[in-house]
Structure 1
Amino acid sequence: METLVRVLAVITAVYAVVLVLVLTVALLTILFYLRRIGGTFAQIATLMRAVETATTDLNVQLERVHKDLTAVAESLDRTAEHLGAAPMGAPEVVERSQVA
């Protein structure tokens, strides 16, 4: 009977050691992938900041282009009226919300 208890104790100890080793490997694998993902997110954040910096004044430039094109459309309408054609008018522009 005592031998059976020792065998069961050894089996339990071996099982506990194997369980701890498997959990350690699993957690280290998770840590590896989380760090890898974190590095990728850091690169993405850096690139997004670069894009934000590069496109900071884009909205101002696009507004200026819109105004210039509106002026061209108005000039073309006046020219068409002068030549006797019916003015077409500028198409309706749908305002878009600005992204902060």
Structure 2
Amino acid sequence: MNYSNVVSSITKNSKTLLNTDILVWSGLILFTLISFFIGGESLFLPKLATTFILLVSFIKIRLVIHYFMEVKYAPLPLKIALDVWCICVFVMLLTLLVFPF
């Protein structure tokens, strides 16, 4: 067994994972800044701004679940269950926003 190939493979995969993590983290920061500026400037159409912020928030939740909770390596049923959960909670909150009691 050639250990230099194994070490090279691990190092290569670690660099790819690190780059992906940094890219996802940068996206999360960008989405946070976008939400902050949209929320701060929502002088008109506050429901539209809130809807956009909710959508961005659930995109961020999905990214955290899949990339930082390592669900991307989990079995497919778990991935589907968590995605369905995200969609259901988003739709419920959006429904409460559009049709308040």
TM-score band w.r.t. shorter chain: 0.3 to 0.5
TM-score between both structures, scaled by the size of structure 2: 0.37
Larger radius of gyration: 1
Higher relative contact order (Cα pairs below 8 Å, separated by 6+ residues): 2
Give the number of the structure whose residues are more often helix, by fraction: 2
Q: How does the TM-score come out when normalised to structure 1?
A: 0.38
